[in-house]
């Protein structure tokens, strides 16, 4: 079992609390749609290369009428990075020991007018301590009202802490969630931040506000669009766009690589992939 200090414990408890709130909100939407779908939770243990206990997590997945497939995962892991990979991680170049706790969410929606979404926040400890994460909206059929409301919610969360956060983290998301070989962005953006070091209380409060902003705005967008009629052509557009999403996550996403390189649960790591996708 991992031994956690007070900061690590506080972060872990928040991510688990946020998971519970989000899952309850998503299940409530399914009930409104006349569905009894609920999350299925699967715990998993991680084995560290050092031979010591390496923590683990819980994978939560729901397949329903509104949420075709949504995964909400929490994990708390620690141990040592393997050889060369540790040198690529902030603060781990000379000391491979690490700790990481966080929440990761990806929702793929049944109705092509409801945007898919990704949200992840995390706390990492190497020789440094920092928070990272963000949220981004991924519609196959973008609607300006949804994009504007999503960004406005994140901007409000950012502005409460630092007026420079939103423009900086929005640009970071625009640069990061880009598919070079397609020359397109993965979606309509959001915010992305990493290596947020300094006062734990301040950065933790910001990370909590990002999670709360997501919990407030995304269910509103889902309810706004989930009963809209759609055509076969719009469904085909959704499935083709999902192929782009899969390409990004398998080729470029750092979170996918981190999970695979640190012995994470494969099903939890790849829950970001859509249940159905097409390539032209």
pLDDT tens column, 113-163 = 999 999 999 999 999 999 999 999 999 999 999 999 999 999 999 999 999
Taking alpha carbons only, the member of 270, 253, 268 closest to residue 103 is 268
Distance CA 127, CA 89 (A): 10
Has residue 82 got a pLDDT over 80? no
State the catalytic residue, choosing from 17, 90, 108, 118: 118
Tens-digit pLDDT profile for residues 186-206:
999 999 999 999 999 999 999
Six-digit token string for 253: 């996403």
139 CB neighbour count, 10 Å cutoff:
22
Has residue 264 got a pLDDT over 90? no
Over range 48-60, report the average pLDDT. 88
Over range 49-68, report the average pLDDT. 92
Distance CA 165, CA 161 (A): 8
Second CATH level (architecture) for the domain 6-272: 3-Layer(aba) Sandwich (3.40)
255 or 186, which is more confident: 186
Q: Locate the domains of the chain by residue range.
A: 6-272
- Concerning whether 17 is annotated as a catalytic residue, the answer is no
Tens-digit pLDDT profile for residues 202-242:
999 999 999 999 999 999 999 999 999 999 999 999 999 99
pTM of the shown model: 0.94
Class of residue 232 by CB neighbours under 10 A (exposed 0-12, middle 13-18, buried 19+):
exposed
Class of residue 209 by CB neighbours under 10 A (exposed 0-12, middle 13-18, buried 19+):
middle
What pLDDT is attached to residue 88?
A: 81
* Residue 271 DSSP code: G
């Amino acid at each position: 079992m991992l031994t956690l200090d007070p900061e690590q414990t506080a972060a872990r408890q928040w991510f688990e609390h946020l998971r519970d709130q989000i899952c309850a909100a998503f299940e409530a939407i399914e009930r409104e749609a006349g569905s009894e779908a609920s999350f299925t939770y699967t715990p998993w243990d991680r084995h560290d290369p050092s031979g010591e206990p390496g923590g683990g997590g819980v994978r939560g997945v729901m397949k329903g009428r509104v949420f075709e497939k949504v995964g909400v995962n929490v994990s708390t892991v620690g141990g040592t990075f393997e050889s060369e990979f540790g040198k690529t991680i902030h603060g781990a170049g000379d000391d491979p020991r690490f700790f990481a706790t966080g929440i990761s969410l990806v929702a793929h929606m049944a109705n092509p007018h409801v945007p898919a979404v990704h949200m992840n926040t995390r706390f990492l400890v190497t020789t440094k301590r920092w928070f990272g994460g963000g949220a981004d909206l991924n519609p196959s059929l973008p609607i300006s009202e949804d994009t504007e409301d999503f960004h406005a919610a994140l901007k409000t969360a950012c502005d409460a802490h630092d007026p420079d956060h939103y423009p900086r983290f929005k640009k970071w998301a625009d640069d990061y969630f880009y598919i070079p070989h397609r020359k397109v962005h993965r979606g309509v953006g959001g915010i992305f931040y990493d290596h947020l070091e300094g006062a734990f209380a301040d950065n933790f409060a910001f990370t909590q506000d990002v999670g709360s902003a997501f919990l407030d705005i995304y269910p509103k967008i889902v309810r706004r669009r989930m009963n809209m009629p759609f055509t076969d052509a719009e469904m085909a557009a959704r499935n083709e766009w999902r192929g782009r999403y899969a390409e990004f996550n398998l080729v470029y996403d750092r979170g996918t690589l981190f999970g695979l390189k640190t012995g994470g649960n494969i099903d939890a790591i790849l829950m970001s992939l859509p249940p159905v996708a097409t390539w032209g």
